[in-house]
Amino acid sequence: MSCNLRCVVKCGLLLAILDLLHGLATEAFYGYEFYIHYRCQWVHGIRWCRYYLRETNHSLRVNIGIGEGVVCILFAVLLILALCKYQPWLAWLWLLKAVAVLVVNGYFLTGWIVEKSRYYHQIWDQHNYDQDNVFMTAGIILTLVEVFLMFIFCCVGGSFTYKVHKQRLPTMETDI
């Protein structure tokens, strides 16, 4: 069963809208965490709060996560434009963003898992453990969503490239 270029573009646009929602969710989560982290009204005071945020890389992850959300939104719009203008090379640039997001999330998740296994944080209170679990859960969910979108994109992107290339090739009937 073969589908035409219009069907592939519609599927790609659905993927781009899902990626746009992924970017908005990333921006919303890290924006909220930015507000929470820099308000820092924990019972152990501002000095311990700054130490905790620096040691866990949560403040660095929040700052990078805000940038990640903006980049996701921009690349989703770029993907929409590439699909509407039939530009395969521009559509494949989206894959760079997906790989970058996977690398950033993988780096922070690996660091947090290694830190959690070291037991250096035995002096944390329950709020610190809850906050650490929130970041790990969000990182895992955002990474899995990005892997899913990347898998679907490779299928759609390959089909899109093939269909556009096939459409632009001159046939024997038009050359004569």
Mean pLDDT of the chain: 82
Burial (CB < 10 A; 0-12, 13-18, 19+), residue 104, is buried
Give, in degrees to the nearest 5, the angle at Cα 76 between 12 and 103: 105
pLDDT tens digits along 78-101: 999 999 998 888 889 999 999 999
89: in domain: yes
170: in domain: no
pLDDT tens digits along 137-148: 999 999 999 999
pLDDT score of 73 more than 80: yes
Integer Cα distance of 96 and 126 in angstroms: 38
Give, in degrees to the nearest 5, the angle at Cα 24 between 131 and 132: 10
176: in domain: no
173: in domain: no
End-to-end CA distance of the chain: 31
102: confidence class by pLDDT, cuts 50, 70, 90: very high
Query: How many domains is the chain partitioned into structurally?
Result: 1
pLDDT tens digits along 6-23: 888 999 999 999 999 999
Range(s) of the domain holding residue 75: 5-165
DSSP string of 69-104, one letter each residue: HHHHHHHHHHHHHHHHTT-HHHHTTHHHHHHHHHHH
Collect all residues with Cβ–Cβ distance below 8 Å to 105 and sequence separation of at least 6: 139, 142, 143, 146
Under 8 Å between Cβ of 56 and 115: yes
175: in domain: no
pLDDT tens digits along 118-165: 666 556 666 667 777 888 899 999 999 999 999 999 988 888 888 888
pLDDT score, position 168 = 73
174: in domain: no
172: in domain: no
83: in domain: yes
Helices 5-39, 58-84: inter-axial angle, 10-degree rounding: 160
Integer Cα distance of 34 and 59 in angstroms: 8
